[in-house]
């Protein structure tokens, strides 16, 4: 690698982007959106709009009993697969706190009792957002079935005779509610989408578009015939585009939550997302022959991945979403932006790093074989 050649190639890339007014305008609009998101609606943001509700609800119980067994047997068909019963001992802990994945809620059944009281439960609802509307379908199911169980218990007690009527066999239910911090509320979800879009825009849209424009004008062929080697042409792109994407994404994230700029995990997540997106963009640029085909390829890629993730989520298809960068990267960035980083997000980072490496290798091979032609 010769630095003076890399410097010329990087200078060329910078001037091409400075001359691209459309890209500069869109970057400015993203900055304005991040400023509006940071300055307004910080206290009153509610779930809604962008929310699709809680996809899974955990029912955590500390003691097995008739109520728990009744709830397990009375899950309606429309909620099958969305409710997971789990002993509290099997819950994921961070310190002494139970941690729930994004897009989930919880109903905790904690045993209560005391002198002069019968057995009972503290029903603790944990919902993302302040209004709790995302947990409404699961909450309605719980109270409906709990009422049926208590009514049936009361009837059986009344028929059992005077000897048992004085015993407190009907469980007592106490209700408590808490907001589940780190859930995908509207503000943090929007901030995550803006940061991810900045990386995708630079590495998956601009890179193929401008590279194919250079191919159509013969600039790529001229570079290949110059003293610059194919490795140096690739190195310039691998240095410029991830740096531009990371810089824009870090600016937007810093405007929304300046504290994330001091966290190592944030920079690791941005680097993995940028390198993986660069691999995708360079692969599209190597396969597309024209600038129009490159733009259409980038659009088709994003649409195909979005549909894949949506169908897998709705149809509960396991495993397949793990093979996409777009599954891991938003979860990592959202965890950092929402101050909800947990140990399992490091597994997302490892998976995204493997996928990014694969995309980078594929892009390298394709570009050196026919990307410059």
What is the tens place of the pLDDT at every residue in 91-118? 877 667 787 876 788 999 988 864 444 5
In the chain, the percentage of residues whose pLDDT exceeds 70 is 84
Is residue 371 predicted with pLDDT exceeding 70? no
Stretch 205-214: mean pLDDT, rounded? 86
In the chain, the percentage of residues whose pLDDT exceeds 90 is 27
Is residue 14 predicted with pLDDT exceeding 60? yes
Is residue 165 predicted with pLDDT exceeding 50? no
pLDDT value at position 80? 85
Is residue 265 predicted with pLDDT exceeding 60? yes
Tokens of 30: 């993203």
Is residue 46 predicted with pLDDT exceeding 60? no
Is residue 197 predicted with pLDDT exceeding 90? yes
**Is the CATH code 3.40.1710 the one for domain 56-179?**
yes
Domain with CATH 3.40.1710 in the chain: 56-179
Residues 189 and 50 sit within 8 Å (Cβ to Cβ):
yes
* Band (304; pLDDT cuts 50, 70, 90): very high
Burial 70-105 (b: 16+ CB within 10 A, else e): bbeeebeeeeeebbebeeeeeeeeeeeebebbbbbb
Stretch 189-205: mean pLDDT, rounded? 90
CA nearest neighbour of 285 among 227, 352, 369: 369
Is residue 224 predicted with pLDDT exceeding 50? yes
Is residue 229 predicted with pLDDT exceeding 80? no
- The pTM for the full model equals 0.69
| Range scoring the smallest mean pLDDT among 13-17, 55-59, 121-125, 243-247 | 13-17
Stretch 67-82: mean pLDDT, rounded? 88
Strand order in the sheet with 172-179: 83-87, 56-61, 104-112, 120-127, 172-179
pLDDT value at position 183? 54
Is residue 49 predicted with pLDDT exceeding 70? no
| Range scoring the smallest mean pLDDT among 78-92, 192-206, 229-243, 353-367 | 229-243
Dihedral over alpha carbons 231, 232, 238, 244 (to 10 degrees): -170
| Range scoring the smallest mean pLDDT among 229-238, 322-331, 346-355, 359-368 | 229-238
Stretch 41-51: mean pLDDT, rounded? 43
Question: What sign does the CA torsion over 331, 48, 107, 97 have?
Answer: positive
| Range scoring the smallest mean pLDDT among 124-128, 143-147, 181-185, 246-250 | 181-185
Average pLDDT over the chain reads 81
pLDDT value at position 22? 81
Name the phi and psi angles at 107, rounded to 5: -125, 115
Tokens of 341: 């980083």
Burial 133-147 (b: 16+ CB within 10 A, else e): bbbebbbebbeebbe
Residues 250 and 194 sit within 8 Å (Cβ to Cβ):
no
């Amino acid at each position: 690698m010769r630095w003076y050649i890399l410097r010329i190639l990087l200078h060329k890339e910078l001037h091409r982007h400075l001359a691209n007014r459309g890209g500069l305008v869109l970057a400015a609009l993203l900055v304005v959106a991040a400023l509006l998101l940071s300055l307004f609606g910080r206290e009153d943001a509610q779930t809604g709009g962008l929310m699709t509700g809680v996809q899974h609800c955990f029912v955590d119980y500390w003691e097995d009993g008739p109520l728990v067994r009744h709830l397990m047997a009375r899950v309606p068909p429309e909620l099958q697969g969305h409710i997971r019963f789990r002993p509290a001992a099997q819950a994921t802990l961070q310190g002494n706190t139970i941690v729930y994945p994004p897009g989930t809620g919880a109903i905790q059944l904690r045993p209560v009792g005391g002198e002069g009281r019968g057995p009972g439960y503290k029903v603790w609802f944990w919902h993302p957002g302040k209004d709790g509307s995302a947990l409404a379908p699961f909450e309605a199911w719980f109270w409906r079935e709990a009422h049926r169980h208590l009514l049936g218990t009361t009837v059986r007690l009344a028929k059992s005779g005077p000897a048992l009527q004085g015993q407190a066999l009907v469980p007592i239910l106490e209700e408590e509610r808490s907001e589940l911090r780190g859930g995908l509320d509207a503000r943090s979800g929007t901030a995550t989408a803006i940061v991810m879009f900045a990386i995708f825009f630079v590495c998956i849209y601009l890179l193929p578009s401008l590279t194919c424009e250079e191919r159509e004008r013969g600039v790529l062929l001229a570079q290949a015939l110059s003293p610059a080697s194919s490795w140096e042409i690739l190195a310039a792109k691998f240095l410029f585009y991830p740096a531009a994407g990371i810089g824009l994404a870090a600016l937007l994230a810093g405007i929304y939550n300046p504290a994330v700029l001091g966290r190592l995990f944030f920079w690791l997540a941005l680097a993995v997302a940028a390198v993986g997106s660069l691999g995708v963009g360079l692969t599209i640029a190597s396969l597309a022959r024209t600038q129009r085909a490159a733009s259409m390829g980038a659009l088709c890629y994003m649409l195909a991945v979005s549909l894949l993730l949506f169908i897998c989520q709705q149809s509960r298809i396991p495993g397949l979403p793990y093979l996409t960068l777009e599954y891991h990267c938003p979860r990592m960035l959202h965890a950092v932006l929402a101050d909800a980083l947990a140990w399992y997000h490091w597994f997302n980072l490892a998976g995204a790093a493997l996928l990014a490496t694969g995309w980078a290798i594929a892009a390298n091979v394709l570009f050196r074989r026919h990307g410059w032609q």
